[in-house]
A = this chain, B = another copy of it.
């Protein structure tokens, strides 16, 4: 049968389209949603069957494949392919045992993760795995097996150094762009920090989205490697590197379910970092009423799981529990966050101090991984590097090397449409809802629209009078602006009260 590219994007799920009148479809007793195996040129992929009743989409004698699936097949339109009922993925037995609550061993996880990475699981099977391994269903050895399998089923970078540092935050705090400060600081100190980050999944901007305002982030590995050799650091998108590919597939079902269980979080984060070649990692766990982690006992449990798995994987890990009561910095959205970052690097008086302090403390922790640095000295070394402008020079060099976009933080290209959200009472700001502010920024268009987002004017503890501006929203499209306005009209995301109402968190910083 002849292959045909069907220009439908089914997002990480391979779909094959067969005409209902097709002899193969009838003879093999396929049913809609059957798993089908498509072979050509010695390569084979598995796909879910959609049955087509329109010959102009897929005719008899043709095999249609969705865009992703077509790309995986790696042959041209019209190439001869064969189709057959798929054998179920090898790891189905292990999946069924996990669904039934059994504990799996190392080989089970390897088989499952290999099938996932090779796109042998349907969305239904993926979801079943994700739900069956959620919450209390995984002991810490199983989390280790899962992490190890995720690393094993992808590429693993080797920077030929026994000190490759990285930093990661478990997420949930808008504006938390410390990586973009920390990379130039530790790189200026001479440590290798080849940072690959993700784009936003549910947030208004990921590090890759914000860095993209300043420079290209989609670089071939060889170029990245040269940049890291020359400048000790980079800030690139990790999506093309085939690092822990199963993670990307799992995220496609975790996202719509808002699933982010400890087991999945630990396996996802650590597998990506280890595959990226990191030897030392500082991990940021923010706590707050609207953060991912809401209490200290929960943060400590999560810390222990991260530490256990990291130690089994021979990764040196330093967990830092931080203040997650509100967004970090002022801007939320790619351009707004890039502006804040550049102001900190340029020691501009308008720079947000919380972003600066947090970045310095995390950078200090990483610098203390240097055997020549004494415990406690990291912070002041990081501060010297930042204050002296060496971090800025290093960042500029990295931006230049990746391909500068000539961003000017004094004239950031913000969305042309804007509105202000005002205080309805006198008092002090006692709460800023991370989730809600992130949603407003996303509705305004971030991160797709780089200049869209939210610019916070007041932060926790600031005194406000009725009518004061709490934040400004920027958008490029009027529909986006309206959606954001509707949401912020329902609830601004701010609570204003007395000083005594300020929530306390007892964290290191």
Contact = CB atoms under 8 A, between A and B. Distances in A.
Interface of A: 6-11, 17, 20, 26-29, 31-33, 35, 50-54, 56-57, 66-67, 96, 99-101, 122-125, 127-128, 130-132, 134-136, 252-253, 256-259, 442-443, 445, 448, 477, 479-480, 483
A474 to B, nearest CB: 14
Contacts of A7: 52-54, 57
Given A10-B32, A51-B9, A448-B29, A256 B122 contact: yes
Given A100-B134, A445-B29, A256 B6 contact: no
What is the oligomeric copy number?
2
B253 A101 contact: no
Nearest to A11: B32
Nearest to A92: B258
Contacts of A53: 7-9, 67
Contacts of A253: 124
A20 B27 contact: no
B479 A33 contact: no
A477 B257 CA distance: 43
Contacts of A448: 26, 29
A322 B442 CA distance: 59
B125 A123 contact: no
Contact of A96 (B8, B11, B33, B258): B258
A31 B442 CA distance: 12
A445 B26 CA distance: 10
Contacts of A259: 99
Contacts of A123: 123-124, 127
Nearest to A477: B27
